[in-house]
Structure 1
Amino acid sequence: MSEFEVKNMELRVGDKLKVKGRVLEDAERFQIDVGRDPDHLALHFNPRFHDDTDGEVIICNSKCDGIWGSEQRDRAFPFEKGAEVKLTMKVTGEGFEVDLPDGQELFFPDRLGLDTLNYIRVRGHFKVTSFKFS
């Protein structure tokens, strides 16, 4: 399991975050967290290869003052173990548009209303090979 963390950056409405990497061969799950700090996450993006309820599922959520919100579950699952993946997350005024590897788009609403996002963490069964924001 690996972890990649960036602090003290500025991601605002209109900005895009691009993450490229490889899903590990024995992957169970990975996550990309974007927010102010680990206790204030505007977006928790969490693909799971085996969830007890839904099997393969992408779970999105937010965390405010260390407390999780309600999960958004998406059964569209374009991830494969061992595959190279490119994800683009765009910050909009309403939330986050995530471009999935198969061309589909997932939307998660902004529940925290933070002007600036300055914390990103990628962890789990995913190896980051490229990271860019614009």
Structure 2
Amino acid sequence: MIVMNSMVDNVWGEEQEGKFLPLPEGIGHMVSFLFALDKITIQLPTGNPFTFPVRFTIEEISYLAVRNLQLKSITLK
């Protein structure tokens, strides 16, 4: 499960969950985040993309948490 949320003025908004099939262990997977003015689109190799609405102007992403995942690289474009 992926849980998305945003914080404005130190107050968390309503959580939005994205459910997906588990990724098989032991092989590499690519997860993509596409940032637009009105939404963030998350693409997983297990299914259709899902979106999270941008609730305010994004100038900086200062926090991203990943749990139960062995992260080997991050590519920013």
Query: Which TM-score bucket, shorter chain as reference?
Result: 0.7 to 0.9
Q: Please show how residues 102-121 of structure 1 align to structure 2 within 5 Å.
A: 102-114=46-58, 116-121=59-64
Q: Please state if 1:123 is matched with 2:66.
A: yes
- Contact 1:86–1:101 (CA under 8 A) maintained in structure 2: yes
Whose strand fraction is larger, Structure 1's or Structure 2's?
1
1:65 shift after superposition: 2.4
Question: For the aligned residues, what is the CA RMSD?
Answer: 2.1
- Structure 2, unmatched stretches of 5+, are none
Where relative contact order (Cα < 8 A, 6+ residues apart) is larger, the structure is: 1
Q: Please show how residues 1-134 of structure 1 align to structure 2 within 5 Å.
A: 47=1, 58-75=2-19, 77-80=20-23, 82=25, 84-114=28-58, 116-134=59-77
TM-score, scaled to structure 2:
0.75
1:64 shift after superposition: 1.6
- Structure 1, unmatched stretches of 5+, are 1-46, 48-57
1:93 shift after superposition: 1.1
